[in-house]
Amino acid sequence: MSIPDYQSITLPLLRLAGDSQPHLIRDTSDALAKHFGLSEAERSALLPSGRQTIFDNRVGWAKTYMKKAGLLHSPQRGTFQITQRGLDLLKSNPPRIDIGVLETFPEFNSFRAIRREKDPEEHPVGTSAGSTPEETLEDAYESIRADLEAELLDRVKACSPAFFERLVVELLVRMGYGGTLRDAGKAIGKSGDGGIDGIIKEDRLGLDVVYIQAKRWETTIGRPELQKFAGALQGQRARKGVFLTTSDFSKEASQYALQIDTKIALIDGTQLARLMIDHGLGVSLVETYEINRIDSDYFSEE
C-alpha cells in the first residue's frame, strides 16, 4: 500500500494511546508502520530534504495536531499520553479523525487562528491530500526548483559550444575535481581530438585524470556516440571519463556504459542543471528560510 497521509494516521495513533500509558513516539511509529503493513521501502522513504522519513513526519504531525486539540499531552520529554478528552472521543467510536473532527475543539481552532494571523494567505492545515507543513513547503520548493532547472537548461543550450565546454570544466572544479580553474583542465576540443573535449585532474594532486566529452545537443545520445568516446579513452589509455550532454542518453547507451571496463559517468541535461544549482553555477541565491524545532534537551532539568 502507499504511505498513509497524516489524517489517516490520526485515529490509529489515538487508539494506540488508548491504554492511558505514556508512549514513546519512536516506538509508536514502528507499531503504526506494522498496522498499515508498510514495506521496508515505504517505511524508509525520505522527504525531499532527506532529513526525515515521510512516515515519521506524518506520524509526528498527527500527534502534534491531536495535542493542539487536547486529545493528547506530553507528560515528559519524548513521550505522549491520551487525555480524558481523547478517551471520550474513542468511546464515541469515530470512523475517522480528520481535520473536520479536530475543528470541533476550540483549542485546535485557536492554534489555526494564530497561524493565520502570522500568514493570512496560509492554506488550511491539512489539505485534501493530507500534506504536512513540511511536505507542503518541500513540494513548493521542488516546484520552484523544477522551473529553475528547465530555464537553466534552456540557457545552457543557447550558449556557444566554447562557452559550454568552459561551463563543464568549471562545474567539475566546483564539484571538487582539478583544484582551481587556473590549472583545472586542458581544453583540447579541436579537430583531431579523438572524441575528447577536455582533460581534468581527478584530485588536487593530479594523481589521476578524467577525460571529458561535452555535447550541446538536442537529440538523444545513442550507443554509437558512447562507443566512440570509449574508443577515444582506450586510445589515451584512460580509465575514467565523463560524458555530459544537454539532451539525454538512450537506454542502450546507458546499458553500454555499465557493461564496459572503462568507467564512464553519464550526465544528461536534467542532471547537468541540477548539479549547476547544487554547486551555485549560473544561479544566485534569492532567499533562505530556516526551519527550527524544539530542542528538548535544553528544557531538561535532570
Only one residue has cell 493530507, namely 130
Residue 245, strand partner residues: 215
Mean pLDDT of 139-159: 85
Domain carrying residue 28: 6-130
DSSP 8-state assignment for residue 64: H
Q: Could you tell me if 27 and 67 lie in one domain?
A: yes
Predicted confidence at residue 177, as pLDDT, reads: 79
pLDDT, one tens digit per residue, over 81-122 is 999 999 999 999 999 999 999 999 999 988 777 655 544 444
Fill in the amino acid letter for 181: L
57: left (phi over 0), alpha (psi -120 to 50) or beta: alpha
Q: How far apart are CA 34 and CA 40, in angstroms?
A: 10
Question: Is residue 18 one of the residues assigned to a domain?
Answer: yes
pLDDT digits (tens, 9 = 90+) for 250-283: 999 999 999 998 899 999 999 999 999 999 999 9
Confidence of residue 188 (pLDDT cuts 50, 70, 90): very low
Per-residue pLDDT band at 291 (split at 50, 70, 90): confident
b/e string for 215-252 if b means 16 or more Cβ within 10 A? Answer: bbeeeebebebbeebbebbeeeebeebbbbbbbbbeee
Tell me: do 169 and 117 sit in the same domain.
Answer: no
Instruction: Note the pTM of the prediction, 2 decimals.
Output: 0.62
pLDDT digits (tens, 9 = 90+) for 217-245: 889 999 999 999 999 888 888 888 999 99
Higher pLDDT, 141 or 18: 18
What CATH number is given to the structural domain containing 231? 3.40.1350.10
| In a domain? residue 138 | no
Q: Are residues 121 and 43 in the same domain?
A: yes
Q: Confidence band (pLDDT; 50, 70, 90) for 19?
A: very high
Flag whether 142 is in a domain: no
Q: Are residues 269 and 197 in the same domain?
A: yes
- pLDDT at residue 288, rounded to an integer: 78
Contact 61, 73 (CB under 8 A): no
* Residue 1 within any structural domain of the chain: no
Co-location of 101 and 203 in the same domain: no
- Residues 91 and 178 placed together within one structural domain of the fold: no
Give the chain's domain count.
2
Helix axes 106-118, 54-68, angle to 10 degrees: 110
pLDDT category at 199 given cuts 50, 70, 90 is confident
Taking only the tens place, the pLDDT of each residue in 49-62 is 777 899 998 998 89
The edge-to-edge listing of strands for the beta sheet with 23-24 is: 23-24, 79-82, 72-73
Strands (E), 46-133: 72-73, 79-82
For residues 124 and 160, state if they share a domain.
no
Based on the domain organization, do 13 and 55 belong to the same domain? yes
Answer yes or no: do 173 and 123 share one domain.
Answer: no
Residue 169 lies in a domain: yes
Report which of 5, 12, 22 is spatially closest to residue 94, judged by C-alpha positions.
12
Higher pLDDT, 170 or 125: 170
Q: How many CB atoms lie within 10 A of CB 183?
A: 13
- The answer, yes or no, to whether residue 298 has pLDDT greater than 50, is yes
- Say whether both 210 and 259 belong to one domain: yes
Q: CATH number, domain at 55?
A: 1.10.10
**Is the residue at 206 inside a domain?**
yes
- Average pLDDT on 166-181 reads 79
Residue 284 lies in a domain: no
Q: Is residue 299 part of a domain?
A: no
